[in-house]
Structure 1
Amino acid sequence: MRLTAFADISLRIVMRLAVADPDDLLTTRAAADLLAVPYTHAAKAVARLSELGVVEARRGRGGGLQLTAAGREATVGGLVRALEPAGDVVGCEDDPPCPLRAACRLRSALRQAQEAFYASLDTITVASLVDAPTGPLLLSLTPPGKGTNPAIA
């Protein structure tokens, strides 16, 4: 199964915030730069993560992003379920609809596989995602063109 770019960007932002110093708030622009994603995509991800109660976003001078306690304890499976669009893995009801839809067993098998995928992610918390070596690497990221990035070097 492949995640949408939206879910991928959202998870990367959550991971970066999980290793951030609480006194050093990261802005959406800085997060986008560090993670090499478009600002507009990062802003949409931050808005959704804020709606979910995973990220606290403060505006204005001294503002920035902070992972909430709920965000730190969130499971990756729960986040992916909340970030990915609902629906079937395959488009049985698309236009034109699949001619096999009335007797097809594939949709059910794919739905079961999708749930198994999510269930395997339910065992992983955001906090565990940033254990070494990931956490130190996240902290070492620099925006492109602003110094050497050990992840690329």
Structure 2
Amino acid sequence: MKLNHFTDYSLRVLIYLNKKDNAQSCSLDELSEKLHILRNHLIKVVQFLSQKGFVITKRGKNGGIIISDKARTTGLGDLIHLLEQDDSPIINCQSKSCVFMSYNCQLKSFLDIAYQAFIDSMNKHYLSDLVFNNWDIIFASQHTSN
């Protein structure tokens, strides 16, 4: 299974925001710089995360983005499933007519069971479980290499 770019970027944003002090909001420009993701991609990501209640956004001079409690208490599996935005993420036998469908093919069933096991396994973990030994060093090196 391969996660799409939207899921990847969204998880990076949530990981970064989860490590920030809630008193400090974050701008799109900061996210773009720190995570090496184009600002235009982040606009879509942050809008989606805001609509789903995983981040709180505030416009204006004192505005910015902070993580919500919902994001912190949602299992990583449920986050991934939502971010993938597809009820049939592995295989869709209907999208292109499959010759095996009428012959009782069980591949989709096997993949659906495996996908659910993946989601269940990931739901044992939360953003807080993503521990980085040298969090400050990850971003400090960006200033020295530029």
Q: TM-score, normalised by structure 1?
A: 0.85
Amino acid at match of 1:137: W
Amino acid at match of 1:132: F
Amino acid at match of 2:49: L
Provide the C-alpha distance between the structure 1 equivalents of 2:141 and 2:95, rounded to a whole number of angstroms.
41
Counterpart of 1:137 in structure 2 is 135
Tell me which protein shows more helix as a share of its residues: 2
Counterpart of 1:127 in structure 2 is 128
Counterpart of 1:42 in structure 2 is 42
Whether the 8 Å contact between 1:35 and 1:143 is mirrored in structure 2 is no
Structure 2 runs not aligned, ≥5 long: none
Classify the secondary structure of the residue corresponding to 2:135. Answer: helix
Change (3 A) 1:142 1:42: farther
Residue 3 of structure 1 deviates from its aligned partner by: 0.6
Amino acid at match of 1:16: Y
Residue 140 of structure 1 deviates from its aligned partner by: 3.9
Over the aligned positions, Cα root-mean-square deviation in angstroms equals 2.0
Structure 1 runs not aligned, ≥5 long: none
| Higher RCO (Cα < 8 Å, 6 or more apart) | 1
Whether the 8 Å contact between 1:36 and 1:143 is mirrored in structure 2 is no
Whether the 8 Å contact between 2:24 and 2:66 is mirrored in structure 1 is no
Amino acid at match of 1:33: E
